[in-house]
Amino acid sequence: MEDTITCSDNKDDEADVALSLFDLPWEDVLFRNVLPFLPLPTLFKFRTVCKTAKELITNYFSQTKSLNLCQVAFRMTSSAFHIMTDNNFSLEMIVMRNAKDWLSNELFLPLINNSQRLIKVDLTNCQTVNNVCLQALSGTCKNLKELYLRDCHWVSVEGVKAVSLNCKNLEKLDLTGCWEVNDNALVVIAIYSQKLKYLSVAKIYGLTDHAISSLAKSSKSLAHLNVQGCWRLSDDSIRDLAEYSRTLKVLQVRECRDITECSLARLRIQQVKLDVRPPPHLRNLNPNLNVQI
């Protein structure tokens, strides 16, 4: 059994080996059904076993369509990042969540420029890049569908506008905690991101009713809106959501102190899921209203 997974670079040993791991089809078997299920540290350790193993992992990194670093974000190095990304032109998904210390514009920009096929990018809590990367992303990745920028406090109004103007297929956008974003940015999103289904602008304390009313009146596909903690919002914009946003299915308004049952009642009638419980007298009349998200 041990001989079936032997690693050897010596051709004289090949006659003694019935089947090597490297005899399996690389692209059709190993790249699709084996290597994607191994942790990154394991791949890097295997890479050091022999020359053939190094070649295998190098080829895999150059062809993989998905790069998820969130489990190793605190241990990643720039050299490891180069090994994984320098020769890859096929990436469709990048998850860099919590890459706080090592990620930089210098590292990330070449990857963006090589990745025109990107569909999903997750930069949640990445504090050491800036809007230069966001501008490059919007200019290069025209087919982007999902962008997660939660707690990226560096995100600017101009960066958000660039994404909305250039990425016409955007369906999910998370701007939670992006404090610099304002009403003007939301108006641009409402007008140009017509395929947007999910939007989170939670904890952006400067947003007003003007932004949400613009979304309600202009956005044609929005199904899930999160405005938790946006304390400047009031019943006025929520009434507009109930009036104009026919596709809305989920609304999160917790910690919005001026949003009351006066505006939420109509959304409940429209069977929009809310994250705040209805008043007791309504719960008694209709137990189904107790359902929360």
Q: What is the pLDDT of residues 56-106, one digit of tens each?
A: 999 999 999 999 999 898 889 999 999 999 999 999 999 999 998 899 999
Give me the pLDDT at residue 58, please.
97
Q: What is the pLDDT of residues 98-121, one digit of tens each?
A: 998 899 999 999 999 999 999 999
Give me the pLDDT at residue 281, please.
63
What average pLDDT is seen over the chain? 91
Region of 190 (left: φ > 0; alpha: ψ -120 to 50; beta: rest) is alpha
Question: What's this model's pTM, rounded to 2 decimal places?
Answer: 0.89
Give me the pLDDT at residue 101, please.
85
* In contact, 233 and 227? CB cutoff 8 Å: yes
Give me the pLDDT at residue 290, please.
47
Give me the pLDDT at residue 7, please.
54
CA distances from 207 to 19, 78, 227 (A): 63, 37, 9
> What's the per-residue H, E or C state across 14-62?
HHHCCCCHHHCCHHHHHHHHCHHHCCHHHHHHHHCCCHHHHHHHHHHHH
Give me the pLDDT at residue 137, please.
97
Q: Are strands 66-68 and 273-274 parallel, antiparallel or unpaired?
A: unpaired
The Cα–Cα gap between 171 and 159 comes to 17
Please identify every stretch of the chain with a pLDDT value under 70, giving residue numbers as ranges.
1-18, 281-293
* In contact, 87 and 62? CB cutoff 8 Å: yes
Cα dihedral 162, 176, 273, 193, rounded to 10, equals 0
* In contact, 201 and 175? CB cutoff 8 Å: yes
Give me the pLDDT at residue 287, please.
53
Q: How many residues does the chain have?
A: 293
Cα dihedral 120, 125, 207, 200, rounded to 10, equals 40
Q: How many CB atoms lie within 10 A of CB 118?
A: 24
The per-residue b/e assignment along 253-291, b for 16 or more CB within 10 angstroms, e otherwise, is beebeebeeebbeebbeeebebebebeeeeeeeeeebee
Give me the pLDDT at residue 1, please.
33
